[in-house]
């Protein structure tokens, strides 16, 4: 993919794509980038008086009509950004039109007919990267900012977009360069061989770089776990009210609810934001013995989800204590052993409020299964108990988020892999110094560490890796 992009750039391709979600919205923005963008946009844009627009001044808003073969398609505004002072580093125009799907498609079609090519995913940012407008960590931060699901992720992505991660990596690279220069000089001038003191100082320098790399890696792994969110699985017998409970928690009709048992077969997944943290609710087939092959497959899937979940909500109908106790114990016996948070939700609580509130305490029957197992009575139809359930679930999220210190970044998979390579290389070079390896071996090892940092910064990275990075971007970014 990156090769295709580079070929398009060398041919002077002008690309176009919607920069906003296509669908029903008040406004939509289309981006056009490349040396022919002015001519292509001029073919469709007409001033309010109907005349052709002779060129565009940079950063000035033009109001007019978009026309195709004399037919007015929409009233639009156009802004021109002259390269290199644009997002892509090339001449670029942005067209704002009304957001109806048909309107966007009509204007997009006329731009393609005039000579523009539909952009690939991430091609605008790739061109910015090639033009030196952003480095690779900053480009990856743009993707992270677009995909930020909470306020914390937004803050960290903005930090990286402002160059904080790049500056940290550049600092590591600068110190590593000093060490490499010292060893290369000793190779060039044999009379300047490294003494015990110099070797000790270099060992300390490499150990410090290794430790800083490990801290970055550890902080990135902790942040990835935090941002991945918690999965909470609803578990219970068929027709016990799991789907009704899911709808009540979400505040909308997400799952089909029926008096017929076994309505839900496949997994239903929905994200919920609680206290700034992402929680993924998963509903699925009710646990039971069945001869239905499709239902058995659904049960296998919900059990697999339960095996990897952070928390289980065991759903049972309210009733006499012994019946509820037996039902929950039977559910636990069917499920894989897991050390996750467990919570019992007793539906139709309005039918047995006194019994439930008196006997659903931490010292009751549930304590024999897990210290965190507690019962929360709810009535999903009226909403009674839902707020208490969400409060209890939010409180059990437990661990505090990782500190937003200087090492906290939203590392991509590429960056984590690159840091692992760097840390391993630094550790190996430190070992070589300690064991008295020859200078030529040390010099080669430091070149490898230097190359790993260069790849992290995007200074020398393979085209296929660049392509894979930008493939994850959305169209128009």
pLDDT tens-place string over residues 401-452 = 666 777 888 888 889 989 999 999 988 888 888 877 777 888 888 888 888 8
Helices then strands, each counted (H, E), the chain: 16, 13
- Identify the pLDDT of residue 234: 87
Domains located in the chain, CATH noted: 2-134 (3.30.1360.120), 142-224+406-471 (1.20.120.430), 236-395 (3.40.50.300)
Q: How far apart are CA 469 and CA 339, in angstroms?
A: 36
- Identify the pLDDT of residue 446: 84
User: In this model, does residue 66 exceed pLDDT 50?
Assistant: yes
In 175-323, beta strands by DSSP E = 230-236, 268-274, 277-283, 311-317
Q: How far apart are CA 274 and CA 279, in angstroms?
A: 7
CA 69 to chain centre: 43
pLDDT digits 0-9 by tens, 170-201: 999 988 888 888 777 777 665 556 566 677 78
Query: Is residue 409 within 8 Å of residue 460, measured between CB atoms?
Result: no
User: In this model, does residue 42 exceed pLDDT 80?
Assistant: yes
Look at residues 52, 223, 105 and name the one whose alpha carbon lies nearest to residue 153: 223
Query: 359 versus 223: which is more confidently predicted?
Result: 223
pLDDT digits 0-9 by tens, 144-173: 888 887 788 899 899 999 999 999 999 999
What percentage of residues in the chain have a pLDDT greater than 90? Answer: 27
Query: Is residue 395 within 8 Å of residue 372, measured between CB atoms?
Result: no
User: In this model, does residue 2 exceed pLDDT 70?
Assistant: no
Look at residues 173, 245, 165, 224 and name the one whose alpha carbon lies nearest to residue 406: 165
Indicate the pairing of strand 117-118 with strand 92-98: unpaired
Given the structure tokens 């977009």, which residue do they identify?
Answer: 161
Predicted confidence band of residue 276 (pLDDT cuts 50, 70, 90)? low
Tokens of 100: 């109806």
Tokens of 87: 């997002």
Buried/exposed 171-195: b ≥16 CB within 10 Å, e otherwise: ebbeebeebbebbbebeeeeeeebe
């Amino acid at each position: 993919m990156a090769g295709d992009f580079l070929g398009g750039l060398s041919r002077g391709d002008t690309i176009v794509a919607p920069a906003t979600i296509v669908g029903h919205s008040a406004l939509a923005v289309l981006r056009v980038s490349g040396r022919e963008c002015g001519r292509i946009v001029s073919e469709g844009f007409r001033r309010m008086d109907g005349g052709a627009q002779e060129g565009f001044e940079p950063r000035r808003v033009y109001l007019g009509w978009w026309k195709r073969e004399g037919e007015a398609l929409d009233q639009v505004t156009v802004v021109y950004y002259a390269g290199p002072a644009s997002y892509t580093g090339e001449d670029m125009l942005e067209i704002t039109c009304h957001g109806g799907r048909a309107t966007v498609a009509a204007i997009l079609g006329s731009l393609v007919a005039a000579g523009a090519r539909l952009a690939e995913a991430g091609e605008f940012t790739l061109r910015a990267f090639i033009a030196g407008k952003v480095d690779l960590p900053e480009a990856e931060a743009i993707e992270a900012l677009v995909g930020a699901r909470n306020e914390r992720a937004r803050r960290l992505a903005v930090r990286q977009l402002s160059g904080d991660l790049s500056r940290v990596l550049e600092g590591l690279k600068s110190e590593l360069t000093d060490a490499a220069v010292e060893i290369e000089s000793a190779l060039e001038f044999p009379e300047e061989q490294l003494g015990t003191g110099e070797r000790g100082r270099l060992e300390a320098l490499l150990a410090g770089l290794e430790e800083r790399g490990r801290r970055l890696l550890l902080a990135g792994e902790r942040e990835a776990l935090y941002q991945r969110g918690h999965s909470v699985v609803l578990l219970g017998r068929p027709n016990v009210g799991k789907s009704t409970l899911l709808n009540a928690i979400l505040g909308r009709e997400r799952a089909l609810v029926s008096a017929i048992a076994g309505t839900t077969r496949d997994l239903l997944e929905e994200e919920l934001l609680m206290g700034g943290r992402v929680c993924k609710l998963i509903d699925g087939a009710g646990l039971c013995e069945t001869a239905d092959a499709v239902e058995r497959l659904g049960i296998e899937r919900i059990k697999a989800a339960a095996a990897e979940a952070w928390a289980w909500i065991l759903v049972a109908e309210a009733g006499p204590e012994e019946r509820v106790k037996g039902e929950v114990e039977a559910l636990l016996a069917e499920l894989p052993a897991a050390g996750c948070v467990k919570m019992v939700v007793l539906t139709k609580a309005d039918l047995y409020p006194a019994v439930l509130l008196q006997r659903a305490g931490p010292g009751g029957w549930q304590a024999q299964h897990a210290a965190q197992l507690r019962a929360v009575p709810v009535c999903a139809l009226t909403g009674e108990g839902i707020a208490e359930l969400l409060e209890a679930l939010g409180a059990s999220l437990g661990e505090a988020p990782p500190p937003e210190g200087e090492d906290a970044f939203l590392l991509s998979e590429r960056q984590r892999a690159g840091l692992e390579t760097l840390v391993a290389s630094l550790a190996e070079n430190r070992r070589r110094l300690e064991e008295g390896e020859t200078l030529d071996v040390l010099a080669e090892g430091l070149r490898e560490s230097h190359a790993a940092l260069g790849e992290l910064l995007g200074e020398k990275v393979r085209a296929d890796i660049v392509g894979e990075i930008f493939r994850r971007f959305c169209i128009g970014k």
